[in-house]
Amino acid sequence: MERAEVVFIPAPAMGHLFSAIEFGKRLLDRDDRFSITVLVIKSPLHGPSLDGYIQSVAASNSRVKFIHLPHIDNPPEEIFLKSAEKYLTEAMASHKAHVKEAIINDVLPTSVPLAGIVVDMFCCPLIDAAHELGVPSYLFFTCNAAFLGFAFYLPKRHDQVSVEFSESDPESIIPSYVNPVPSSVFPSFAFNKEGSYITMVYHGRKYKETNGIIVNTFYELEPHAINSFLNEGMPPVYTVGPLIDLKGQKHSDANQEKHEKIRTWLDEQPPSSVVFLCFGSGGGFGQPQLKEIALGLERSGHRFLWSVRCVSPDDKFSTPSDCQNLEEVLPPGFLERTRGTGMTCGWAPQVEVLAHKAVGAFVSHCGWNSILESLWHGVPIAAWPIYAEQKINAFQMVRDLGLAVELKLDCRYRDGEVVTAEVIEKAVKCVMDGENEVRKRVKETSEKSRKAVTNGGSSFDSLGRLIGALCNNIAPPE
């Protein structure tokens, strides 16, 4: 084989695009015969712009080409209010004709053969485009192997009971999890009768139509989940993680100045003395919860770096933003009282912060990318999930793997529940305890994560098997 092209179709969301591009970079670094075309879909939601990141990747790697698909009319916003999963799936399905057109006009006419199409876990309708073009398709699963097992569990369960989950359901025995899973940590789509549940059942079925499933994890982290896939009659699973952008993203000059202040402050703190609070691009709180966080941090007595992000209770389509006028949303005098031991900021350079020697713990929403970054740097987590699959991620980290401390696994935000300062204080003290067994296990897992991606490691070998499969797709018949 001389050259080969792979088409990537990532979901138009920050975490999904970043991890897909990191996988693409790893593929290119491993084998210089490959090049990548990324089909960029404009986000149907009001999320942060990804244009700057795309431009920086395109400028730094000549073997990655981006094709921006034409803008289309999104589904009615009323669908989103009832079911975000159905809304996103319908939006992705509406791009099918443009995906086929881009591949037919811009990829297939080149002299480089197309070895496969890698489709994001939320772009399942586009698997049909690959089928119709006669091109092998691969699923890129940005979550963990255990949650992949949950996705496979959904159609099996639905074939038996044909109804959504109920919050009063007993614990579920899901093969990819070590312990029975309580319904209180299921993603909200599991209970949704407006299209979310049945949409995710659809996704679970479509995953099995691919030629292989690429998962951002490593065997040593999730051996139970990965072994649960054996003899299940499913496509090969390739564990290629952790996929982490260790260099961090380029920022505007204004953001760079803010991030420099953060680095300078961290440089002045003792080793492993700072607890870092950051809740991802979609994680933010209203004023009542922000006040409880502030009080919990102050009472804990630990140094802290807190990325304070606010949400608007009136705009269901808005994403969290940096809080303006912190004095108005935090307890009176808090900023002054903690001036010597704490720092508040807006959007933070998470990877850089976790890599800093001053950071001793991470209060996290338990998005999978954040978990992998924290484990890589050996920073223990206090688990505080907010939405999507974060609760079941946190359950796995705390109960199955013993790699995180529980802060609050099952908060009912839609009912207006607020996590109290006492709960926050207790979790911060626990995760910052230098003798905590979780801290020791996280350090061991950090070493395993780094070995996994080196020559001879589990993810290195798994990527090699995937490369072999891609090459076989375009090998001439004997």
Beta bridge partners of 322: 309
pLDDT of res. 477: 62
pLDDT of res. 314: 55
Q: Both 403 and 442 in a single domain?
A: yes
Residue 247, in any domain of the structure: no
Task: Decide: 140 and 120 in contact? Cβ < 8 Å.
Answer: yes
DSSP letter, residue 19: H
Q: Both 305 and 407 in a single domain?
A: yes
**pTM for this predicted structure:** 0.94
- Maximum distance among all Cα pairs of the chain, rounded to whole angstroms: 77
Q: Both 430 and 388 in a single domain?
A: yes
Q: Both 419 and 457 in a single domain?
A: no
Task: Decide: 195 and 85 in contact? Cβ < 8 Å.
Answer: yes
Q: Both 444 and 464 in a single domain?
A: no
pLDDT of res. 175: 96
Please spell the DSSP secondary structure of 146-204, one letter per residue: HHHHHHHHHHHHHHHH-S---TTPPPB--TTSSS-B-GGGS-GGGG-TTTHHHHHHHHH
d(CA 152, CA 378): 31
Q: Both 28 and 100 in a single domain?
A: yes
328 contact partners, CB below 8 Å, separation of at least 6: none
Q: Both 213 and 339 in a single domain?
A: no
Q: Domain with 154 in it: what CATH number? A: 3.40.50.2000
Average pLDDT, the chain: 92
Residue 110: both structure tokens together: 């080149």
Q: Both 459 and 410 in a single domain?
A: no
Task: Decide: 376 and 285 in contact? Cβ < 8 Å.
Answer: no
Q: Both 111 and 68 in a single domain?
A: yes
Residue 249, in any domain of the structure: no
Task: Decide: 371 and 334 in contact? Cβ < 8 Å.
Answer: no
Q: Show the domain range for 323.
A: 254-448
pLDDT of res. 39: 97
Q: What is the mean pLDDT of each run of 10 residues along the chain (478 residues)?
A: 91 90 95 96 79 88 93 91 94 96 95 96 96 97 97 97 95 97 96 97 97 98 96 90 78 72 96 95 86 97 94 63 83 93 92 97 96 98 94 98 96 85 97 94 98 98 98 80
d(CA 79, CA 441): 43
Task: Decide: 199 and 192 in contact? Cβ < 8 Å.
Answer: no
Residue 109: both structure tokens together: 């006419």
pLDDT of res. 121: 96
Name the burial class of residue 247, with classes exposed (0-12), middle (13-18) and buried (19+) by CB atoms within 10 angstroms of its CB. exposed
Q: Both 231 and 338 in a single domain?
A: no
pLDDT of res. 281: 76
- Number of separate domains in the chain: 2
Q: Both 21 and 132 in a single domain?
A: yes
Residue 246, in any domain of the structure: no
Residue 194, in any domain of the structure: yes
Write down the H helix ranges in 275-365: 287-300, 326-329, 334-337, 350-355
Q: Both 285 and 219 in a single domain?
A: no
Beta bridge partners of 235: none
Helices and strands in the chain, H and E counts: 19, 15
Residue 357, in any domain of the structure: yes
Residue 460, in any domain of the structure: yes
Task: Decide: 432 and 361 in contact? Cβ < 8 Å.
Answer: yes
Residue 262, in any domain of the structure: yes
pLDDT digits (tens, 9 = 90+) for 392-436: 999 999 999 999 999 999 888 777 889 999 999 999 999 999 889
Residue 417, in any domain of the structure: yes
pLDDT of res. 316: 54
Strand boundaries in 143-289, DSSP class E? 212-215, 237-239, 274-278
